[in-house]
Amino acid sequence: MNSKEIMIKFNINDHVKVKLTDLGKDIYLHQYDRINKVYSNYSKTILTPSNPKVDKDGYTDFQLWELMQLYGPHLYCGAEQLFEKNIIHLLE
């Protein structure tokens, strides 16, 4: 590690916050579509879609693992932004 690097310990269970773009909000809203389609033939229980909870400053809070699980498949070089300016804020 060179002198300009800073190492921070951050657990995947710790919380982060992001400002979701319209695409990010849409992915959040439709995250259960595939599961509901598959299980609708076997169960009366359907996972209810919901919009992300946004705080007064426009941020949505996630545990880091939740953010990675939901948005990881949509993140690649050249992908449309899911978070404003591609910024993830680490919370203490």
The DSSP annotation for 31-58 comes to: TTHHHHHHHTTT-S--PPP-PPP--TTS
Look at 3 and 72; give whichever has higher pLDDT: 72
CB atoms within 10 A of CB 26: 13
Over 70: is that where the pLDDT of 77 sits?
A: yes
pTM summary value = 0.83
Q: What is the mean pLDDT of residues 51-60?
A: 96
User: Could you tell me how far CA 25 lies from the centroid of its own chain?
Assistant: 9
Residue 2, pLDDT score: 60
pLDDT band for position 19 (cuts 50, 70, 90) = very high
